[in-house]
Amino acid sequence: MPCPLAGTVVSVEVVAGAAVTGATVVAVVESMKMEHPVPAGAAGAVVEVVAAPGDLIHAGDPLLRLAIGAAAAAPATPVEAPAAPGGPVGERADLAEVRERQRLATDDAARPAAVARRHERGHRTARENLVDLVDPGSFEEYGSLVLAAQRSRRPLDELIERTPADGLVGGLARVNGDRFPDAAARCAVVSYDYMVLAGTQGQKNHVKKDRLFDLVERLRLPVVLFAEGGGGRPGDTDSPVVAGLDCLAFALFGSLSGLVPLVGVVSGRCFAGNAALLGCCDVIIATEDANIGMGGPAMIEGGGLGTFAPEAIGPVSVQAPNGVIDVVVTDEAEAVAVAKRYLSYFQGPVHDWACADQDGLRELIPENRRRVYDVRAVLETLADTDSVLELRRAFGPTMVTALVRIEGRPVGVVANDPGHLGGAIDRDGADKAARFLQLCDAHDLPVLFLCDTPGFLVGPEAEEQAQVRHFSRLFVAGGALTVPFFTVVTRKGYGLGAQAMAGGSFRRPLFTVAWPTGELGGMNLEGAVRLGFRRELDAIADPAERDAAYEDLVARAYEHGKALNLASHFEIDDVIDPADTRRRIVNTLRAVPPPSPRTTRKHPVDPW
């Protein structure tokens, strides 16, 4: 029996006189640091063992001599190959060790005390949120066995028990796969684990984020980030880090803006580095008990700025009205539901939709042109049933920004709210709308403007807020739109504010139409009469006659500025029955070619 390869004989598994079959291992030879079992190759009896352990042997040299088909001189038990993993002798030790470490790292049941504390505070664990978010069986985790970089100061068993995954659960999954194909349902999830060192950012979980964010960029995956945690962790000692300012996580995550949808979710405390990542997200969904700040209590006190409880730093009552938070929810279950809903607008159209009777739109704008109305009722009627997700409702209330569906197609909506400042666009409203336009354009969502504005807010006090710059953001963002967009003038459309609600010009949208209640002009018509006819009015001595002349001029100005008159001069495309608005939008969208596939981003989405 020749040796099939060159190497060193490790062992000889048979003796002279042994009976062997073709599959019987007769020797083990080491070659290039690997051990190779050598089968007999034929049935028979061993006549002589030639090789011995330790012998250097060449390919073709004899290992033993075998009498083919001869009966054994003495009964012998063939030496068989070891049992396969999971065979009759039970699970292999190496696999059992891996399973146990995985259990300790990924099973909340392995940390009952920490889980109990979490639940007592009314919060869910990181893995409970993850299970609720992703499709069953779709999550593939990265770095589950990573431990905190503290081996020089803590025993390994303690690190395994107390720092699983180094406090960061992350991987690839699918979300909403029951409604969208796999290509659209792909997603990455990154969640800090508050049960591990207060969800702080450790050396190893920074490396995990680097790995995941690189994958996200290469695969163009949306990201859901659960950001609860206390920021940087000073207790990691295993690496010779001085300041740690060369970590890549913030640069990598920031570079994803505009390339893929970024969803931030936070409950409880979110400070420093955790908050910095959260602030990069397109949308921030926060529970009512959230506290968000660029510095936590320790950092504030360390800077000599006073001592504060965590609950005093960036509560929702501050961060929602100032525009940091997009959607406020009751608890983490609702936060996950909103995150799934938000992602769905970027996953494509749906086929199971319904809508309200569109005839109702005819009555939502009062005939009295000075009477306020509920613009959200207009939006809820116009959009598919239960499809409206409003963003930043508590901030910039002169504007409504929302994601909706129209006949199943996702659309972004920017609407003036006449219930605030008569629909005039102020600084915060301009910032809110401009940033929303960037978001829609970056991710190829069409935009619908619902225009009802007397124009930009003006006056000495208003100008103290740098409105020249803030208002111009609307023209820059509108001028950069590459997605289809449309303007519907529901009532007022005056001056620069109205042009801002049309991407800068009524000629820019794919259509600019008005409802019968529409009235338009270069400026507010009453103001135009006062300014344009001041000399004529001042020349009328009788106050009653002057007032009558003024009202007559205003009436003529309104007749001149009626949407019907503008349409007759082709300054707008049409005046339509409000009930036909959806049909107009859908038919125009059907005429638009689909966006070309992209591998790079158009532009980042301004965090503000």
- Which of the residues in the chain have pLDDT under 70? 70-89, 242, 523, 525, 527-529, 531
SS3 of 69, please?
coil
Strand partners, 270: 229, 292
> Residue 551 has what pLDDT?
77
> Residue 86 has what pLDDT?
47
SS3 of 315, please?
strand
Of the candidates 474, 482, 475, which has an alpha carbon nearest to the alpha carbon of residue 510? 482
User: What confidence tens digit (pLDDT) does each residue in 175-209 have?
Assistant: 999 999 999 999 999 999 999 999 998 888 999 99
C-alpha span between 217 and 219 (Å, rounded) = 6
What is the distance, to the nearest Å, from the Cα of residue 524 to the centroid of all Cα atoms in its chain? Answer: 41
pTM score: 0.87
Of the candidates 344, 381, 386, 351, which has an alpha carbon nearest to the alpha carbon of residue 365? 381
H-only helix segments in 3-111: 93-106
Q: What is the DSSP string of 187-206?
A: EEEEEE-TTTGGG-B-HHHH
> Residue 77 has what pLDDT?
46
SS3 of 298, please?
helix
Give Cα separations from 285 to 125, 175, 191, 323, 328 (angstroms): 17, 17, 14, 12, 6
Q: How many CB atoms lie within 10 A of CB 420?
A: 17
**The Cα angle at residue 491 between residues 482 and 544, in degrees rounded to 5:** 145
Q: Is 504 left (phi over 0), alpha (psi -120 to 50) or beta?
A: left
First to last CA, the chain: 78
| pLDDT above 90: percentage of residues in the chain | 74
Give Cα separations from 61 to 20, 32, 54 (angstroms): 20, 18, 14
Q: Report whether 489 contacts 451 (CB < 8 A).
A: yes
Of the candidates 277, 281, 278, 313, which has an alpha carbon nearest to the alpha carbon of residue 297? 313
Look up residue 588 and give its DSSP letter: H
Give Cα separations from 202 to 198, 207, 322 (angstroms): 11, 9, 30
Domains and CATH numbers, the chain: 7-68 (2.40.50.100), 94-344 (3.90.226.10), 358-518+563-590 (3.90.226.10), 524-561 (no CATH)
Q: Report whether 173 contacts 134 (CB < 8 A).
A: yes
Q: Report whether 500 contacts 461 (CB < 8 A).
A: no
SS3 of 47, please?
strand
β-strands 262-266, 283-287 pairing: parallel
C-alpha span between 599 and 66 (Å, rounded) = 65
199, two tokens: 């969800």
Look up residue 423 and give its DSSP letter: G
Q: Write the secondary structure of 39-97 as one string of H (helix), E (strand) and C (coil).
A: ECCCCEEEEEECCCCCCEECCCCECEEEEECCCCCCCCCCCCCCCCCCCCCCCCHHHHH
Residue type, 295: G
> Residue 431 has what pLDDT?
97
C-alpha span between 539 and 531 (Å, rounded) = 14
H-only helix segments in 107-155: 112-120, 126-133
C-alpha span between 71 and 337 (Å, rounded) = 74
Cα dihedral value 319, 322, 326, 329, nearest 10:
40
> Residue 236 has what pLDDT?
80
What is the distance, to the nearest Å, from the Cα of residue 278 to the centroid of all Cα atoms in its chain? Answer: 10
Of the candidates 275, 335, 310, which has an alpha carbon nearest to the alpha carbon of residue 124? 335
C-alpha span between 4 and 26 (Å, rounded) = 12
- Which helix (H) or strand (E) covers residue 169, if one does? strand 168-174
**For 272-340, where are the E strands, in sequence order?**
283-287, 291-293, 327-329
Q: How many CB atoms lie within 10 A of CB 119?
A: 12
φ/ψ of residue 444, rounded to 5: 65, 40
Measured over the CA atoms of residue 508, residue 509, residue 514 and residue 518, the dihedral's sign is negative
Measured over the CA atoms of residue 526, residue 528, residue 534 and residue 537, the dihedral's sign is negative
C-alpha span between 237 and 154 (Å, rounded) = 10
Q: Report whether 443 contacts 263 (CB < 8 A).
A: no
C-alpha span between 82 and 399 (Å, rounded) = 73
- In total, the chain counts a number of residues equal to 608
SS3 of 70, please?
coil
Residue type, 485: F
Residue type, 555: A
Look up residue 256 and give its DSSP letter: T
